[in-house]
Structure 1
Amino acid sequence: MSNLSFSGDNAARWFNALRGTLFATPGQAGVSLALLAISGWILVAFVDWTIVSAVFQGSDGSACRVPGAGACWPFITHKMGLFLYGRYPEAELWRVHLTGLLALAGLVPLMTPRVPHKLALSLYMLVVFPILASILLYGGLFGLPRVGTERWGGLLLTLVIASVGIAASFPLGVLLALGRRSELPIVRWLSIGYIELVRGVPLVTVLFMASVMLPLFLPPDVTIDKLVRALVGVALFSAAYIAEVIRGGLQAIPRGQYEAAEALGLGYWRKMGLIVLPQAIRIVIPGLVNSFISLFKDTSLVLIIGLFDLIGIIEQSIQADAKWFSPQTASTGYFFAAAVFWAFCFAMSRYSAALERRLETSHRR
């Protein structure tokens, strides 16, 4: 009886809280009911399109041309390898899988709070892993067949651009933020000029410059891989935004912290590396993660310079393969891409929230 009474009291408290929040006044009740009705309609339509009316079997688009058909899932299952790896040779996919395992071997313990040796793990991810990943994915050494970047695509290319962009733009952003606050006028002016110039142009322009204009300034016998040019452009573009995020954290540090570090006799770089930057980065974790999420989504823009990331390879498959033509093929492909991007971005945001709680940077009262 006590358990039943306890459950009843809980239900009553939940009901009163719900009524006080959503139905406190007639106006609030009307808005709440309208929003609940719209949400229910969207949910029913979504379930109908993705499950109830969806097509789950078929060898081509004819199975999805039935009137009233929903999502064309056979298109995704038959093209899954292309969406994940692009045109990377099937016989060499073990190299992609090994690269992923090596990344997880360093990233998971690095992101786990209680795992020791963070410095060694950071050096592995920033120095050792990029070398191993480039050797494995590109080949040409140790008997590995060369796989040109023109054959990379899909989710593989998206993750390569995003991970390299994040890893390269963060230290560049820190240096630019420090440069913008430098007491040396030439350093400060150059940092400000770079940040304002890059933030004043869209990423599309930077990618066009890296892909089309840069080769015009190089000697005829010098060529730089298109993917490398895109990686450099993305990293330099993102660094300007990260610099402003870091600068906000530096400005939030009390002047007393700087003075205390100077009183201990610490030089500029030790003062920044040991005292100021750790506090500043903890403060701006939400802004940093927001920049990383934006960078991850902006990787889809490389399609305009002929690199087929996840969205690019899906769009190419929709337009080029007449076998899978149907009214639902395009919407299913784009829904799959949206779900993949959402999963990665949601994971980054949840990890950021957990990191904030652990470091107590939310300052909640």
Structure 2
Amino acid sequence: MSDTHAKSVAFVRETTIPQSAPPMAASGPVLWMRTNLFATWSNTLLTIAALYVLYLVLTATMPWMLNGVWNTESLRACREVLDGTSGACFSVLTERWNQLLFGFTYPSELYWRPGLAFALLFVAAAPVLFFDLPRKLLFFTAIYPFLAYWLIWGGSVLYPLLALAGVVVGYLVYSKLVARNFAAGFFGGIAAAVAFIWIGGLLIPETASDNAMLEAVPSRDLGGFMLNMMLGVTCVSLSVPIGIALALGRQSDLPIVKMICVVFIEFIRGVPLITLLFVASVMLAYFFPPESTVDLFLRVVIMITMFSSAYIAEVIRGGLAALPKGQYEAGDSLGLDYPQKMRLIVLPQALKISIPGIVNIAVGLFKDTTLVSVISLFDIIGMIRGPILASTDWAGVYWELFMFAGALFFIVCYGISQYSQWLERRLATDHR
């Protein structure tokens, strides 16, 4: 009886059965292709057509690139090496890389200075872009613009120190006026900083550059992709705070401040950038005192910054308009004054909403720096269209040079885009 009862008792496993691998069609690359490439008949046809177009492009370009020549000194020598076969003359890149990156007049023995400034840029930008890093690093971020100016231009260290002191004076004026009105405090701080730097520059003796620690390099010697990077980083960094001030000024209760901001934004947005660059090249010098010599680079920075700040102001104004009125009322109910309400409640949310628009303008602005070639500034496009193609050694080389320039711009713009997407995921811009 006991044996029969023992045989009727169900078997109870004491260990779990090992997990089986999912079917090949339900995981891995096969699942991804079924989901994204061959989900429906229409997607399948589009995928096949896209693969065919990609095949045609690769079969036409890959032999040309793989047969490229890198070690000749002229286009004629490159064609002799190719001997009628299809291939690229990448030798122009190996011979003229320094002109493409630094221009044709920047001293070659000083290339380490802009290279060091470029490397330090990542150190200075890290605590701003990645807010998990220690806040103590912001001290280096604050002094980096003046250090980079001294490294690239050289000359007396008194000028960057004077500019740093002017920024400190402007911040003190801003902190005194911002309690009344943010826009008034911001623009008052800028005016105080500019006045301090202007007066201080007149007091610095002309012999200060003779005892300089670094050899001075005139701004007219700047060129190549270095010039594009300098214009892009400088103008974007300046236009964001100015755009915030313009957006807040447009919503100000002070009629004069609001009118000035509205007129500035609408006028700048209604004028093409290339027109403003011609104004910077020809007319802007007349707005300075006759004895002053404001170089072209500074005038271009002023105009590009004005142009981009007007567009950023409208993007931020859209972010401010997207916030419900209750956010403003919440700050009032907490007893916060205007600067505190904007800094702690309103602007963090508005800027979070405005990230895609700000990044879009930053990418467009960086690409628009190539327009300076029309006013005789030899950026990377100006170098290609000017000295390089004007040389008899490389007359007729186009694809290789413009592909190199496009690759550099793509790397920078793609990096900015990827960072913005990471920042949006980190801040969860689709949730408030």
TM-score above 0.5: yes
Structure showing greater relative contact order (alpha-carbon pairs closer than 8 Å, 6 or more residues apart): 1
Q: 2:69 aligns with which of 29, 32, 55?
A: 55
Where does residue 345 of structure 1 map in the other structure? 413
Deviations 1:66-111 (A, max 9, x none): 4343321110111111111112111222221221232222223432
Residues 175 and 109 of structure 1: CA distance in aligned 2, closer, same or farther (over 3 Å): closer
Deviations 1:212-243 (A, max 9, x none): 01223444322211100001111011000000
Where does residue 232 of structure 2 map in the other structure? 162
Q: Aligned partners of 1:94 and 1:217: how far apart in 2?
A: 36
Q: Aligned partners of 2:341 and 2:218: how far apart in 1?
A: 44
Q: Aligned partners of 1:92 and 1:196: how far apart in 2?
A: 43
1:261 and 2:326 correspond:
no
1:71 and 2:88 correspond:
yes
Contact kept in structure 2, 1:54 and 1:72, CA below 8 Å: yes
Q: Aligned partners of 1:3 and 1:159: how far apart in 2?
A: 54
Deviations 1:252-274 (A, max 9, x none): 11111111111111111111111
Q: What SS does the aligned partner of 2:111 have?
A: helix
Identical pairs, percent: 40
Q: What SS does the aligned partner of 2:118 have?
A: helix
Which amino acid is 2:249 matched to? Answer: G
Output aligned runs, 1:89-238, within 5 Å: 89-117=107-135, 120-122=136-138, 124-125=140-141, 127-141=142-156, 142-238=212-308
1:85 and 2:102 correspond:
yes
Q: Aligned partners of 2:268 and 2:33: how far apart in 1?
A: 53
Q: Aligned partners of 2:34 and 2:232: how far apart in 1?
A: 47
Deviations 1:329-365 (A, max 9, x none): 211100100010011000000000001101111459x
Contact kept in structure 1, 2:63 and 2:86, CA below 8 Å: no
- How far off is 1:13 after superposition? 3.7
Q: Aligned partners of 1:15 and 1:146: how far apart in 2?
A: 58
Unaligned stretches of 5+ residues in structure 1: none
1:291 and 2:342 correspond:
no
Which amino acid is 1:55 matched to? Answer: V
Q: Aligned partners of 2:36 and 2:227: how far apart in 1?
A: 46
Q: Which has the larger radius of gyration?
A: 2
Give the TM-score taking structure 2 as reference length.
0.77
Where does residue 279 of structure 1 map in the other structure? 349
Unaligned stretches of 5+ residues in structure 2: 1-17, 157-211
Q: Aligned partners of 1:346 and 1:7: how far apart in 2?
A: 34
**Mean Cα deviation higher: 12-21 or 226-235:** 12-21
Q: State the superposition RMSD in angstroms.
A: 2.2
- How far off is 1:5 after superposition? 5.8
Where does residue 17 of structure 1 map in the other structure? 35
Give the TM-score taking structure 1 as reference length.
0.90
Where does residue 188 of structure 2 map in the other structure? none
